[in-house]
Structure 1
Amino acid sequence: MSPLSIVILALGMSVDALIASTSRGAALKRPSVVEAVRTGMVFGVVEAITPLIGWAAGVAASAYIAQVDHWIAFGLLGAVGGRMVFHALTRAAEEDAPAPNRSAWLLVATAVGTSLDAMAVGVSLAFLDVNILVIAAAIGLATMLMSTGGMLAGRLIGARFGRYAEIVGGLALIAIGATILVEHLSA
Structure 2
Amino acid sequence: MSGYVGEFISILFLAFALGMDAFSVGLGLGMQQLRLKRIALIGIVVGIFHILMPFVGIILGQFISEGIGQITILLGGLLLVGIGSQMLFSAFNHELKKVIEPVGTGLLILSFSISIDSFSVGLGLGMSGVKTALVLLMFGAASMLLSWTGMLLGKKVRGLLGAYSEILGGSILIAFGIKIIFG
Q: Aligned-pair distance for 1:107? A: 2.2
5+ residue gaps, structure 1, are 88-100
Residue matched to 1:83:
98
Question: Which residue among 13, 18, 30 is the counterpart of 1:13?
Answer: 18
Aligned positions, number: 137
SS of 2:41's equivalent in the other structure is helix
Q: Aligned-pair distance for 1:8? A: 0.5
**Greater CA deviation, 139-148 or 30-39?**
30-39
Residue matched to 2:103:
103
Aligned-partner residue type, residue 10 of structure 1:
A
5+ residue gaps, structure 2, are 66-71, 87-92, 175-183
Residue pair 1:20, 1:110 contacting (<8 A) in 2 also: no
Write out aligned runs for 1:94-133 (5 A): 101-133=101-133
Q: Aligned-pair distance for 1:103? A: 2.5
CA RMSD of superposed structures (Å): 3.3
Per-residue deviation, residues 105-153 of structure 1 (Å, max 9, x unmatched): 2222222112111111111112223211110110100000010111111
Per-residue deviation, residues 74-117 of structure 1 (Å, max 9, x unmatched): xxxx9xx6323xx9xxxxxxxxxxxxx44322222222112111
Aligned-partner residue type, residue 17 of structure 2:
G
Matched, 1:24 2:39: no
Matched, 1:46 2:49: yes
Aligned-partner residue type, residue 45 of structure 1:
I
Residue matched to 1:95:
none
Distance 2:59 2:38 in 1: 32
TM-score, structure 1 as length reference: 0.61
Aligned-partner residue type, residue 14 of structure 2:
L
